[in-house]
Amino acid sequence: MIGILGAGAFGTALAVALGQAGRQVRLWARDARTVAQMQETRRNDKVLPGVDLPKTVSVHAEIAEIGGGEAVLLAIPMQTLAGALDLYPEIGQGTPLVACCKGVDLTSLRGPVALIRDRRPESVAAILTGPSFAVDIARGLPTALTLAATDRGAELQDLLSTPTLRLYRTDDITGAELGGALKNVVAIAAGAVIGAGLGDSARAALMTRGYAEMVRLAMALGARPETLAGLSGLGDLVLTCTSTQSRNFRFGLSLGQGTGFDPSITVEGVATASAVLRLAEARGVDMPITAMVDALASGRIALNDAIGQLMSRPLKQE
C-alpha cells in the first residue's frame, strides 16, 4: 500500500496513475467535505475535473490511515511541509517518506529531504521531482520524473514507476531539489517577459541565463552539474517556462501584463526566490534574475526598471 498526504492536483494525479497500475493507494485530504465528495463521486473535480479514481484508490480523512504501507508520498506545498510533519507525528514511523514538492523552506533555508530527515530520522527520505503537470499524469500521458534518494532508491523506483510514469534514479538529492526549486523562479521571469510582450527570443535568453544561475548555486551547494542537465533541472525548466499550465509562469504573465493574480493559488517560486537569495548571498553566488524576480514579486521594483537593470549589466564572456 502507498499512502499519499495531500489531495491537491498532483497528489490526486499520482493516486490515479498508481491506482491504474494496480497499486493499492490511500489518499488523505485535510478537508472532510472534500473527502466526502471524493468518496461519493470518485472524482476530485475541483482540481482534476472529469478524472475518475481507480477502484484501488481509497480516500481518507484520518491521517493515521495512510501510514504503515510501503511508502508515503508528501504531496503538499513546500512551505507547509515542516508544519505538517510536526502536526502529524504518526506519518513516517520508519516508512519511507517521498517529498513531492519543490522549493526551499523560508525559515530554515533547507530543502524537503533535509526537513524530513530532521523530523523523521528513522525513515528513508527521498524526493520525486521533474517535468510534470498533474493533468498529464492523471490522463495517463507519458511522463518521466527523477527520484532522488541515497537509500532504497531502486526499491522506491520500482514501487512508484508505472507503464506511463517512468522514473529515473539519482543519489544527488541536492541537485534534484534545487533544479525543481529554482526553475520556478526562472518560470516567473519567463512569464513576465512574455506578459510584457518582449518576445520568444527574450524568453530563450532569459531561460538560458536563468539555467546558468541554477547551475552556479547548485554547484556551490555541492550538487553535480549533470543532475541540473537532467529531468529535474533542464527538463523541468523547459516545461515550466513554456506553458500556461504552470502556475509560476502564469504568475509571471500577470506581472508582465500588470494584472492581478488569484492569491489562493500557490506560487512556490515567490518564496523560493526569497530563500534562494539568502543562500546565494551567504556563498557569494551572483543571481541577478532571481534578485529581480524577488524584487518584482514583492513590488519593490517596476518591470521596466528590472528589464533595464538586467540589460545594462556589464558585458562579459558567457
**Bridge partner residues of 59 (DSSP):** 27
Rg, the chain, Cα only: 19
Which one of 55, 102, 183, 316 is the catalytic residue? 183
Spatial CA neighbour of 95 closest among 75, 69, 114: 69
Residues 6+ apart with CB under 8 A from 19: 25, 53, 54, 55, 56, 57
Residues 6+ apart with CB under 8 A from 144: 130, 131, 165, 166, 167, 168, 231, 235
**147 φ, ψ (degrees, to nearest 5):** -110, 115
Question: What is the Cα 137 distance to its own chain's centre?
Answer: 14
* Coil, strand or helix at 315: coil
Active site residue 102: no
Q: Which residue bears the cell 520568444?
A: 200
Which amino acid is it at 219?
M
Measured torsion, CA atoms of residues 292, 298, 301, 302, in degrees rounded to the nearest 10: 100
Catalytic residues: 183
